[in-house]
Amino acid sequence: MLKRLEDQEEEEEGEDMTDKLTLEDRLQGLDLDRDAEAIWDQLTDQERAEFQSVVERGMLGDMLEMWTPWWSLSQKRASLIEEVGTEQDTVTKETESRTNASPPPPLLTKIPMLSSLLKGQPSESIKYNIVNILYCYAYVVRLHNGDHFTMPTQAAQEVLQLCPVFMENFSFCDVGEALHAAMARSNQDPSLANTPSFQSLVVKDVSCILIGPSKEDSLRFVQATLSDLHHLFSVARKKEGKDSSSRGQMEEGATSPELRQKLFLCKKKCDFLLAWSAEHGDKLTPLAMDCSQEYAFLSRELSQHEKAKSELEKAWGGSKPPKKDKTLIQELS
């Protein structure tokens, strides 16, 4: 009996000690990205209940600090896009109102001459292919909330999954085709799919990137995007090589020479596109207007959808239609 009381007292003291330790103390030494179960074990019952409540109410996203894209424009530059937009911008008033974005990624310093990479005249489709690449880049970077270098291999593979230009040598004929091809690919993969408003937002991102920070430096954002992709492919390739070596050559699937080769070719593609933009970049800026018109169309479509949805929910008295009477035949007396 005495032993049982001593054990109970020690257990209660242990619980008291856990309560006295701060959350920071309890999580010290744990990897917040990988030790999910260990982190959960360190939470008190009250903390677990609070977390589950936040998740169930869909408030988890509100607790994250939203990243401001480096291509966000000042109000003056953004007005160039808004002139062809809708009066009721239901997607991104907030994004354009903030000018505290981080600086653009550094430009690649060693850009080859286009003549050293291509004999003859480049294809007219290259400018549209770049639009597709810009969309895929902005889409993936927004998915990662600006932290795409935290998981470089995953981010690089997501870009390749969305963008047929890099590995499939696909070419586009106009801006609309280039944008909608990427949107369709994102819808086909549940891990990449997002809302129509998110897709519309990324179309506007492409407009911002094409316009650039100023009239005098209109190519800065396009070149920054291609340079950042070059760096992403390089980092992912190096990481994949290190991970393969650490896993050992005997383990099945330990090495990924195919992926590393793909990433190498993607780097070379970025080199080519940077060389092209240095000589033919003046063909890109006018495409910003086409993207803006596409954004305006998507915004109107989204607004009409939301209006129709609101009217239906009002008529139904809720988010779902009322249940139909399942009685098909009624006996008459």
Hunting for tokens 């998740």 — which residue is that?
Answer: 55
Rounded Cα distance, 118 and 130, in Å: 17
Least confident of 15-29, 123-137, 218-232, 250-264: 15-29
Cβ-in-10-Å burial (0-12, 13-18, 19+) of 77 comes to: middle
Residue 154 has pLDDT above 80, yes or no: yes
pLDDT at 54: 64
Mean pLDDT of the 184-188 span: 95
The identity of residue 181, as a single letter, is A
Band of the pLDDT at 51, cuts 50, 70, 90? confident
Residue 82 has pLDDT above 70, yes or no: no
pLDDT at 46: 83
pLDDT digits (tens, 9 = 90+) for 98-119: 456 788 999 999 899 999 998 8
Helices 152-162 and 220-247 meet at what angle, rounded to 10? 120
Query: Model pTM greater than 0.75?
Result: no
Mean pLDDT of the 237-244 span: 80
pLDDT at 166: 94
pLDDT at 333: 54
144 closest CA partner among 90, 192, 206, 210: 192
pLDDT at 50: 78
The share of the chain scoring above pLDDT 70, in percent, equals 69
pLDDT at 95: 38
More reliable by pLDDT, 181 or 73: 181
pLDDT at 18: 47
pLDDT digits (tens, 9 = 90+) for 34-45: 566 777 788 888
Most confident among 21-30, 78-87, 200-209 (mean pLDDT): 200-209
More reliable by pLDDT, 314 or 173: 173
Please tell me whether residue 280 adopts helix, strand or coil conformation. Answer: helix
Residue 329 has pLDDT above 60, yes or no: no
Is the dihedral angle over the CA atoms 130, 131, 137, 141 positive or is it negative? positive
pLDDT at 261: 93
Residue 138 has pLDDT above 80, yes or no: yes
